[in-house]
């Protein structure tokens, strides 16, 4: 997979040299390049922003250095003079981090991990002139994407999170692909609690079933814990779960937690959920 990140703070992305993503770059699994947007400016001051048309606070990123940068990066992807939109070429995906974008989820990460070329355009100030996104749609599939319902100072932090979430799903990046299967959000539920040695630590024992060697019992316990934890911390996820994925054991656990399971989905009853507070006691 090829990934290009364009930013006015390329040094912010230095963390992408570390850990598994850094190794994937060195191993050639990810061709990741970080570009300085100011490299596409033409004035002495390397200006990338201007005042907002119509008035208001802050500054807006000017269209021109962005257009040059995006055209070059898309064109460089396939070496064609017409850029990536040329006949037969798969369009690169332009991800524009924005608190006004669709929310980035694990499902998005899986979707993007199947792409050949991702380009991330890090906004700063009040964001990028909207016409850049319209214009870029001629060459790219454009996806404004939010990390969550809060506002950051720039797109770089969001890009670090998204590149890591997508990159680790690219085959070969995570050594043991099985570790991706049971993770939080991979099946619509949160992951079960995990433990390591020693079996007894500061008077706290690991759940006995995990020492039993009974793989079926361990799998059942883990599934039950997934359901309990999700009901407690993220009931919204349970409400979105397809009832068809629930077996008899799941349904019994949910009933004990006060949830009803109908053909149209899962609904919390009056006694459902302890809330997120007092978590340690609840667990
Ligand atoms: C200060 S923010 C601009 C916020 C913008 N004026 C708004 O209210 O939608 C500057 C940049 O930070 C990035 N950013 C801020 N919050 C973000 C979020 N929740 N997810 C992704 N990117 C974000 C975007 O690149 C954005 O252009």
Q: How far is it, in rounded angstroms, from Cα 269 to Cα 282?
A: 18
Q: Is the torsion defined by CA of 42, 44, 47, 50 positive or negative?
A: negative
User: What is the band of 273 on the pLDDT scale with cuts at 50, 70, 90?
Assistant: low
**pLDDT, tens digit (0-9, with 9 covering 90-100), for 166-214:** 999 999 999 888 889 888 888 899 999 999 999 999 999 999 999 999 9
- Position 81 scores a pLDDT of 39
Angle between helices 215-233 and 248-256 (to 10 degrees): 40
Q: Is it true that 2-175 and 200-268 share their CATH fold? A: no
**Looking at per-residue confidence, does 270 or 194 come out higher?**
194
Rounded average pLDDT over 228-239: 97
Q: Which of 22-26, 84-88, 89-93, 202-206 is predicted with the least confidence, judged by mean pLDDT?
A: 84-88
**pLDDT, tens digit (0-9, with 9 covering 90-100), for 102-115:** 999 999 999 999 99
- Position 193 scores a pLDDT of 97
Provide, rounded to the nearest whole percent, the portion of the chain with pLDDT above 90: 84
- Position 76 scores a pLDDT of 72
**pLDDT, tens digit (0-9, with 9 covering 90-100), for 9-40:** 999 999 999 999 999 999 999 999 999 999 99
With a 6 A CB cut-off, is 158 part of the ligand 1 pocket?
yes
With a 6 A CB cut-off, is 144 part of the ligand 1 pocket?
no
Distance from chain centroid for Cα 241: 20
Q: Which residue in 244, 247, 258 sits closest to 223, CA to CA?
A: 247
- Position 85 scores a pLDDT of 47
What does pLDDT average to over the chain? 92
Domain boundaries, the chain: 2-175, 200-268
Cβ 6 vs Cβ 37: under 8 Å = yes
Q: What fold does the segment set 200-268 form as a domain?
A: 1.10.1270
Asked if the model's pLDDT at residue 280 lies above 70, the reply is no
Q: How far is it, in rounded angstroms, from Cα 34 to Cα 121?
A: 10
- Position 78 scores a pLDDT of 52
- pTM for the whole thing? 0.91
Q: How far is it, in rounded angstroms, from Cα 37 to Cα 8?
A: 5
Which of 49, 62, 123 to probe ligand 1 with, by most ligand atoms within 8 A of CB?
123
Beta strands (DSSP E) in the chain are: 2-7, 31-36, 49-50, 60-61, 93-103, 117-121, 141-146, 200-201, 204-205, 259-262, 265-268
- Position 278 scores a pLDDT of 54
With a 6 A CB cut-off, is 147 part of the ligand 1 pocket?
yes
Ligand 1: centre distance to CA 127 (Å): 7
- Position 161 scores a pLDDT of 98
- Position 80 scores a pLDDT of 41
Asked if the model's pLDDT at residue 83 lies above 50, the reply is no
Rounded average pLDDT over 225-254: 96
Q: How far is it, in rounded angstroms, from Cα 168 to Cα 28?
A: 14
- Position 182 scores a pLDDT of 80
- Position 75 scores a pLDDT of 85
Ligand 1: centre distance to CA 160 (Å): 14
Q: Is 195 annotated as a binding residue?
A: no
Cβ 253 vs Cβ 229: under 8 Å = no
User: What is the band of 95 on the pLDDT scale with cuts at 50, 70, 90?
Assistant: very high
With a 6 A CB cut-off, is 59 part of the ligand 1 pocket?
no
Q: Does domain 2-175 have CATH number 1.10.3720.10?
A: no
């Amino acid at each position: 997979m090829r990934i290009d990140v364009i930013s006015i703070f390329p040094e912010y992305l230095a963390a992408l040299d570390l850990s598994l993503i850094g190794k994937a770059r060195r191993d050639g699994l990810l061709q990741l390049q970080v570009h300085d947007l100011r490299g596409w400016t033409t004035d002495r001051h390397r200006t990338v922003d201007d005042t907002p048309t119509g008035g208001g606070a802050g500054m807006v990123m000017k269209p021109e250095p962005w257009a040059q940068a995006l055209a070059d990066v898309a064109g460089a992807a396939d070496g064609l003079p017409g850029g990536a939109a040329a006949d037969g070429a798969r369009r690169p995906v332009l991800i524009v981090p924005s608190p006004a974008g669709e929310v980035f989820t694990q499902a998005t990460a899986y979707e993007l991990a199947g792409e050949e070329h991702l380009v991330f355009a890090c906004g700063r100030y009040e964001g990028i002139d909207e016409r850049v996104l319209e214009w870029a749609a001629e060459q790219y599939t454009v996806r404004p994407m939010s990390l969550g319902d809060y506002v950051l100072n720039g797109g770089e932090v969001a890009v670090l999170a998204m590149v890591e979430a997508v990159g680790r799903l690219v085959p070969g990046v995570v050594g043991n692909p099985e570790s991706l299967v049971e993770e939080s959000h991979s099946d619509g539920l949160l992951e079960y609690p995990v433990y390591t040695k020693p079996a007894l630590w500061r008077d706290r024992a690991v759940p006995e079933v995990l020492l039993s060697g009974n793989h079926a019992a361990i799998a059942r316990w883990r599934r039950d814990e997934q359901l309990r934890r999700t009901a407690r911390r993220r009931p919204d996820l349970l409400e979105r779960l397809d009832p068809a994925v629930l077996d008899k054991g799941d349904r019994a656990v949910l009933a004990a937690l006060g949830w009803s399971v109908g053909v149209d989905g899962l609904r919390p009853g009056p006694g459902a959920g302890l809330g997120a507070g007092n978590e340690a006691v609840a667990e």
